[in-house]
A and B are shown apart, each in its own frame.
Chain A
Amino acid sequence: MELAFYIAGAVAVLSTVLMLTRLHLVHALLYLIVSLLGVAVVFYVLGAAFVAALEIIIYAGAIMVLFIFVVMMLNLSGPAAEMEKRWLTPGIWTGPVVLASILIIEVLYLVRGSSTGIAGGGVEPKQVGIALFGPYIIGVELASMLLLAGLVGAYHLGHRKVEKPEIQHDADTHEGRAVAGGDLVLAGADRSARTP
């Protein structure tokens, strides 16, 4: 069990180093996914299976989808097709695939064997839920407010940029939006004041 912890940690650290030394964004994203999976396996070894599942779903799922969308949107302006073809040659996949297959073998071994954590039992999700909605209920409310603020902020930032080429005919709204750049600053100040 100790060995599993160290292997997963080594995979996470190694893939993070490889992520930082890649020059292309897509390669760095692949190694970042492997790094997050490694940390998730570390959580599983520590007996926090619920947190490991959340890590995979939210980090390696949702946040990675956001990153990939942004990378794709930024590459659309150039000659993207042959660039992608050059980036995604099969040789590039070997590094992340090797690291991820190490993790998969380790998880299979762990699931096959006894599933007790390294710290002897670990913390059950039921305790986490009770603590979350008991003494930490204000934290939950603050997190929901933060997520709402993040949603509104991201919508506001992305909205103007998308709509600006489309409303060229409507001159005064366009000017109004351009002049009202101050409300972006106001929204930012409001959000940062609310978050702590």
Chain B
Amino acid sequence: MLAGILFSLGLIGLLVRRNLIVVLMSLEVMLNAAGLAFVVAGARWHQADGQVMFLFILAMAAAEVAVGLALVLEIYHRFKSLDVDELSEMRG
């Protein structure tokens, strides 16, 4: 339930906000919510698999944020903007 709320909030943020860094932060919230769902399920059925999956999600989020922020820096230096709409218009 809580994981669903957090995930949908992250999704809303991903769709609504137009700043690239905020989009990345919303992505973090969504990954965090997925991990929360795993941990809650693991605690519910007393299995260690949920926490193992959370560790994998954690590693994936770290790698994703590193690459994503490097891309954000590159985009900012190239376009002098972090607006997603503006970027798509310049691209097309």
B-binding residues in A (CB < 8 A): 9, 12-13, 16-17, 19-20, 25, 28-29, 32, 35-36, 39, 42-43, 46-48, 50-51, 54-55, 58-59, 62-63, 66-67, 70-71, 73-74, 117-119, 121-123, 127-128, 130-132, 136, 139, 143-144, 146-147, 149-151, 153-154, 157-158, 160-161
Contacts and interface: CB of A to CB of B under 8 A. Distances in A.
Nearest to A9: B2
B62 interface: yes
Contacts of A46: 39-40, 43
A123 B51 CA distance: 8
Contacts of B87: none
Given A48-B43, A66-B69, A123-B47, A149 B17 contact: no
B67 interface: yes
Contacts of B71: 157
Interface residues of B, number: 53
In terms of DSSP, what is the predominant structure of the interface of chain A? Answer: helix
B55 A12 contact: no
Contacts, number: 156
A128 B21 CA distance: 33
A20 B27 CA distance: 12
B62 A32 contact: no
A41 B73 CA distance: 32
Given A25-B19, A130-B48, A146 B70 contact: no
B39 to A, nearest CB: 5
B63 interface: yes
